[in-house]
Amino acid sequence: MKRNYLTISQVAQKLSLGASTLRKMCLNQAIPDAVKPGNQWLIPLDSLEKITLPNQSRGWELGKPRARGRTENTLEVPSMRNATTKIAHKIAVFNQAGGVGKTTFVRDFGYELSRRGKKTLIVDADPQGTLGVFMGMEPAIRPETDSFWHSVYSGNETQKPKVLPTGYENLFVGIANRDLKRGELELMDSEDKGRLRGFLRDIQTEFDFLIFDCPPSISEITVQILFAVDSLIIPVQTEAKAVVAFGEVQVEIAKAQKRRLNLDLPKLQVLGVVPTMYKGQTIISQHHLRETHELCEAFGYPPLPAIRDFTKVSAAGTYRVPLMVHDRNCPANRDMEQVVDQLFPPCPQQTSKM
């Protein structure tokens, strides 16, 4: 009977492990039937469920022992009893510039995925807590322990990151608040760049999508997210300053890719660039949209459909609801549907239900 084999990188991505550690396990014959016919190890797919990992802290695969919490922990590997085990798509909505529509995009992108039956968690990574506000969570008046990030920066390995229901089917939110500023300093002191990645192992099999709304800066939280996710979506406002700043986004992505390469982590995939706040009736906005498409071609990134700018889009934030809930007839909803269709085309059965 023919066996299917995976490379070290493929197994590392499936199990959210470090490739260097997997190589050491292969050398020590800790992985059943691993073979090395050439320059790389190959691991049988049906052997994944038999892998037993040594006791390590959650930060182990990045070479940094956890500075807080338990000194020893048996890493829980997602069950691989069949090849269809669900592990969430982990996506960062990333642009270090502020005011480009990241939070609005995450809110409506997450809602559209949930509307299609995908269990989705949207996570705020900005101490201002805007995503939580947009979802009616009022993070400023909630206790610190309600924050998604509390267990991460405190190093409490006995507690999963806090996930809150939004009241919408399949849609959940992880909020942030002002305490994240202090928590970020704690993360910096720990020097554990893989801490968030470790904590996501506890929840990544519970969702179809984990979507992070990155802060408008390159901070410790941003670095943690870029180590933890698998892919990026880049919102770019169709304004002159935002298009010019797009080159800086590419610089930061290149830095993140280099850090991941040094730590044997799979390369981040850029799913696409989404033009935001597009005013299609103005010549200047049309010009900046063309510029954005030219930059996408230069960097090899897929351009996504533009999200048009309407008063209703910002009004939805005021009313603390997704745009589709606030006004399902707003044309920007159609734009978001097209974005999701391009990224994750619905199967025929899903199309017939919608």
Q: Longest C-alpha distance within the chain, in Å?
A: 64
- Which of residues 238 and 110 earns the better pLDDT score? 110
The alpha helices in 86-126, defined as continuous H runs, are 102-115
Q: Are 206 and 78 in contact (CB under 8 A)?
A: no
pLDDT at 131: 96
- Which of residues 351 and 14 earns the better pLDDT score? 14
Q: Are 249 and 241 in contact (CB under 8 A)?
A: no
pLDDT at 286: 94
d(CA 60, CA 94): 26
Residue in 87, 95, 88, 148 with CA at minimum distance from that of residue 113: 88
Q: Map residue 174 onto helix, strand or coil.
A: strand
Q: Map residue 25 onto helix, strand or coil.
A: helix
- Which of residues 245 and 268 earns the better pLDDT score? 268
| CB burial readout 193-214, b (16+ within 10 A) else e | bbbbbbbbbebbeebbbbbbbb
pLDDT at 16: 67
Q: Are 28 and 21 in contact (CB under 8 A)?
A: no
pLDDT at 19: 67
Residue in 72, 59, 80, 64 with CA at minimum distance from that of residue 6: 80
What is the phi-psi region of residue 167: left when phi exceeds 0, alpha when psi lies from -120 to 50, beta otherwise? left
The bridge status of strand 89-93 relative to strand 164-165 is: unpaired
Spell out the residues 6+ positions from residue 310 whose beta carbon is closer than 8 angstroms to its own. 330, 331, 332
Out of 75-79, 118-122, 144-148, which region has the weakest mean confidence (pLDDT)?
75-79
Half-sphere exposure of 13 (CA within 13 A, CB side): 15
The answer, yes or no, to whether residue 348 has pLDDT greater than 80, is no
d(CA 161, CA 149): 6
What number is the average pLDDT over the span 138-162? 91
pLDDT at 190: 74
Per-residue pLDDT tens for 280-293? 999 999 999 999 99
d(CA 208, CA 1): 32
- What confidence tier does 25 reach under pLDDT thresholds 50, 70, 90? confident
- Which of residues 64 and 312 earns the better pLDDT score? 312
What number is the average pLDDT over the span 118-129? 96
- Which of residues 112 and 24 earns the better pLDDT score? 112
Could you give the angle at which helices 19-27 and 8-15 cross, rounded to 10 degrees? 120
| CB burial readout 45-57, b (16+ within 10 A) else e | bbbbeebebeebb
| C-beta atoms surrounding 158 within 10 Å | 8
What number is the average pLDDT over the span 250-270? 89
d(CA 134, CA 337): 20
pLDDT at 56: 40
d(CA 346, CA 150): 36
Half-sphere exposure of 214 (CA within 13 A, CB side): 30
| C-beta atoms surrounding 151 within 10 Å | 19
pLDDT at 231: 96
Q: pTM of the predicted model, to two decimals?
A: 0.75
pLDDT at 69: 38
Strand partners, 333: none
pLDDT at 2: 61
- Which of residues 36 and 118 earns the better pLDDT score? 118
Distances (CA, A) of 212 to 281, 295, 312: 31, 24, 24
Q: Exposed, middle or buried by CB within 10 Å (0-12, 13-18, 19+), for 182?
A: exposed
What number is the average pLDDT over the span 24-32? 75
- Which of residues 103 and 24 earns the better pLDDT score? 103
Per-residue pLDDT tens for 31-80? 877 887 666 778 888 777 777 654 443 443 343 333 333 333 323 333 33
- What confidence tier does 149 reach under pLDDT thresholds 50, 70, 90? very high
pLDDT at 29: 72
pLDDT at 80: 33
